[in-house]
Chain A
Amino acid sequence: MKLQAKQVALATVIALAGPGACAPAALAQGFKPTRPVEMVVHTGPGGGSDVLARAMAIMMEKENLLPVRMQVLNKPGGGGAVAAAYLAEKKGDENTIGLFTGVWLTGPLTSDKAKVTLKDLTPIARLVLEPALIAVKADAPYKTLADFIAAAKQNPGQLKQSGGSITSRDNVVRQLLQKNTGARWTYISFPGGGERIAALLGGHVNVMVIEPAEAGEHIRAGNMRVLAQVSDARLDGFPDVPTLKEAGFDVPVVPQVRGVVAPPEIPRQNVAYWEEVFRKLSQSAAWRKFLADNQFENGYQNAAEVTKFYGEFTDRMRGILQDAGIKTVR
């Protein structure tokens, strides 16, 4: 099997290169988990990462990608800092991996209490990119994003957007658009997604950045209208909605990302193993269906690519946050 060959090749190289972490027995087989694998997420049960991790566990079982069970371990707190710190402590542990999101990358930029950055952990893969939509209430006077921006320019600071915390992607989109157009509108943080939608539907705010899966039903029911998509290419579910660029706003598309990391100092062959598992997952039919249902983009990158991605992403985010007047500490 291709998997075996790759493992053996890698193992041979490592053995020839010098003392490695592989026991002689492992040389023949490569790494395989023998105990249930724990996937650490930074939300509680029901949160975005938690749901994704559980869905992944179910898919892995269906597709027989792992010889053991995968369990979800919730380590909420500190915007990802607690989960990241937990993973950092598990140096060399072969049965723990983590599901990271963009917050793990931006959190350390603004908080000096978050001591562990993704550079300290072992990257495995990037899995999904989550695009978003810019939506208004259906009876709002804005038919296009340009309408909204024009209205915001005329009434600086009076229009309102609901979203998550100020370092979340919702605010990043706002900052980018404000900088690009010179318009200004207020941002109001709501901790829960439900409250943000309720604020929009109740007419208390004018606009929000919302995920396609959340918006879908409201659009179908005629409560919301989508002005633009925050994505590089038009999503299948929204063929009539212009992307930001098409709508005339040349701002970088900052995606919400999710991917897999492992604790520091795990053997190279383990990394290769995990890479392979997630590569297979990202190509499986079940995964494709999951992406389509939730309107995610397949953003698969392997370990080397995702390491480069971290650097680019953090640099760009740092710039954006500083422009927005948010203090960065790294």
Chain B
Amino acid sequence: MQGFAVALQPVNLLWCLLGVILGTVVGILPGLAPSGTIAMLLPLTFAMNPAAAMIMLAGIYYGAKYGGSTTAILLNVPGESASVVTCLDGHQMARKGRAGPALGIAAIASFIAGTVGVLGLMLVAPPLARMALAFSSPEYFALMALGLAMVVLLAGRSMVKALLAMLVGLWISSIGTDPFSTTSRFIFGQLELLSGVDFVIAAIGLFAIGEVLACMEARGQGQLLPVPRGLRNLLPSVRDLKDCRFAFANGSVIGFLIGVLPGAGSTVASFISYGVEKAVSRRRDEFGQGVVEGVAAPEAANNSETGGALVPLLTLGIPGSATTAILLAALVLWGFKPGPLFISDNPALFWGLVASMYIGNAMLLVLNLPLVPLFAQVLRAPAHVLYPLVFGLSMVGVYSVSGSLFDLGLLAGFGLLGYLMRKLDYPAAPLILGLVLGGAMERALRQSLMMSEGSLSILATRPISAVMLSLALLILLIPLFNKANAWRLRALEQNDG
């Protein structure tokens, strides 16, 4: 309760508001990452009270997750790495004239999940952090394998093509220097590829540029996207909200738990939560064509993940991602010592932060919902204005990350690949999945084998990894079950007829 006393001070409320607004803007603009923005603002925070500064920076962090879905839904440009999954159904909803409900559900899911994340941080942080320590390379491997098994659920019509796309993703993820041996793999003599292909470049190229190129095929039509008409189509309906009940829950929980694991990442969380939602949904065959749960689940996951990622940061001083790393650096620069005793040493700061996160999430909901109809109007712009805009946003987004013209060339390359994949009917999501998880999975496997001195049994003897691997195996067998069922049904029909 003391926390609310801190958080509700007018000064802190103001900084919170500033932070969440800034975060939303950063999230909307592709390529602008919250970690970079926080880094830029660090010098300014020295003049501030640390609690206020932390409240603002945290606001940027979770605010960015709200904004990331906006361009994903409207333009198929993932504003943030975790928004890739939102592109899948979100943009399809926009193409059907349902951009408003998509944006609205994204905001609502983000709010619910963000609040759940803060609740988690408040209630179960220390014991959960200790449990998270039991997670190490074998468990990470199993988690990544579980994530990759989701490809089965993302497959669409051709399982073979989805698997091939995933394998290409795995290949791209191994471009770069192998950390265990300093061998450089698949870099084609390019210095810039030594640290691998940045996932953001691939995602923006495949999704955004690929989409624009595909749209360039049609000539001269003014508006290609149906404009939402009437208030009913500008916001999610009650029916939509009801459909998403499970998605909210599943996304919040999965996102938070995965966020607690240092290094797992919100992209994994969004994919897994999307996969789970698809697996249990009655409308599973419609996923990928604009189903509202397909937006709610990943959006919830990537928001509660921020709450989860703060758990190892604040309870153990261990940063799990680039953004938490810079928050850690900020705390250190201000003179704090993040670690196991941080919360007990600085109760006012911690509880003030927690309280401000509740307030911040509420602020974001209030800010974002009314903006939804406004944003949806973006799609009214004629194609010849909108698509060049997407090109520009993509280029600036990529360039602002690394300032490298080589990366822009890569962007163009991925754009062409995205277009070709569309034409040849290869799904892009499995490629992204492979790219995101491939490197982590390989590292985790090799680390595990080093831990066990070469024995694969480590994966089976440790309970957590054994459970997740079995789950992954089961998921992989689903298509076989389906095929067997289909055969059986056909055989029965033939017998009858």
Contacts and interface: CB of A to CB of B under 8 A. Distances in A.
Contact of B39 (A61, A72, A76): A72
Contacts of A293: 332, 335
Contacts of A73: 403
Contacts of A45: 33, 35-36, 38-39, 322, 326
B402 to A, nearest CB: 7
B340 interface: yes
A117 interface: no
Interface string B7-37: 0000000000000000000000000010110
A87 interface: no
Given A45-B38, A192-B263, A198-B136, A77 B192 contact: yes
What is the interface of chain A mostly: helix, strand, loop, or mixed? mixed
A198 B135 CA distance: 9
Given A201-B316, A217-B340, A46 B326 contact: yes
Contacts, number: 173
A73 B42 CA distance: 14
Given A58-B43, A82-B195, A217 B402 contact: no
Contact of B177 (A78, A201, A223): A78
A57 to B, nearest CB: 7
A204 B195 CA distance: 27
Nearest to A160: B451
Given A78-B191, A194-B319, A218-B317, A157 B453 contact: yes
B339 to A, nearest CB: 2
Contact of B180 (A189, A195, A216): A189
A54 B39 contact: yes
Contacts of A199: 136-137
Nearest to B40: A45
A78 B179 CA distance: 11
A192 B179 CA distance: 12
A69 to B, nearest CB: 9
Interface residues of B, number: 57
B486 interface: no
A193 B338 CA distance: 14
B149 to A, nearest CB: 23
A175 to B, nearest CB: 14
A202 B134 contact: yes
Contacts of B322: 44-46
A221 B194 contact: no
B422 interface: no
Interface in B149-166: none
B262 A192 contact: yes
A110 B183 CA distance: 9
Interface in B311-340: 312, 316-320, 322-323, 325-326, 328-329, 332-333, 335, 337-340
A261 interface: no
Contact of B451 (A76, A165, A194, A205): A205
Contact of A217 (B263, B337, B404): B337
B341 interface: yes
Interface string A123-158: 000000000000000000000000000000000011
Interface in A20-79: 44-47, 50-51, 54-55, 57-58, 61, 72-79
Contacts of B134: 202
A76 to B, nearest CB: 7
Contacts of A167: 182
Scoring A46, A58, A81 by chain B CB atoms within 10 A of each residue's CB, the highest score goes to A46
A283 B402 CA distance: 34
B494 interface: no
Contacts of A76: 195, 402
B421 to A, nearest CB: 27
A220 interface: yes
Interface in A165-213: 165-167, 186-195, 197-199, 201-205, 213
Interface size of A as a range: 35 or more
A113 interface: yes
B340 A223 contact: yes
A57 B44 CA distance: 12
A46 B328 contact: yes
Contacts of B453: 157-158, 186
Nearest to A202: B133
A83 to B, nearest CB: 11
B184 A113 contact: yes
B403 A75 contact: yes
B337 A216 contact: yes
Contacts of B179: 165-166, 189, 191
A204 B448 CA distance: 10
A72 B403 CA distance: 13
Given A44-B35, A46-B328, A113 B318 contact: no
Scoring B320, B342, B447 by chain A CB atoms within 10 A of each residue's CB, the highest score goes to B447
Contacts of B177: 78-79, 111
Contact of A82 (B194, B320, B333): B194
Contacts of B339: 216-218, 220-221
A240 interface: no
Contacts of B43: 54, 57-58, 61
Given A189-B179, A192-B262, A202-B136, A75 B333 contact: no
18 contacts: A45-B322, A46-B322, A46-B323, A85-B191, A165-B180, A186-B453, A189-B180, A192-B263, A193-B318, A194-B263, A195-B262, A198-B136, A199-B136, A203-B133, A213-B332, A214-B317, A218-B316, A221-B340
Given A45-B35, A198-B318, 11 more contacts: A46-B39, A51-B326, A73-B403, A77-B195, A113-B187, A113-B191, A189-B443, A201-B316, A214-B317, A216-B337, A221-B340
Interface of A: 44-47, 50-51, 54-55, 57-58, 61, 72-79, 81-82, 85, 110-111, 113-115, 157-158, 160, 165-167, 186-195, 197-199, 201-205, 213-214, 216-218, 220-221, 223, 293-294, 326-327
Nearest 6 CB-CB pairs, A to B? A217-B339, A46-B326, A45-B39, A78-B194, A221-B340, A202-B133
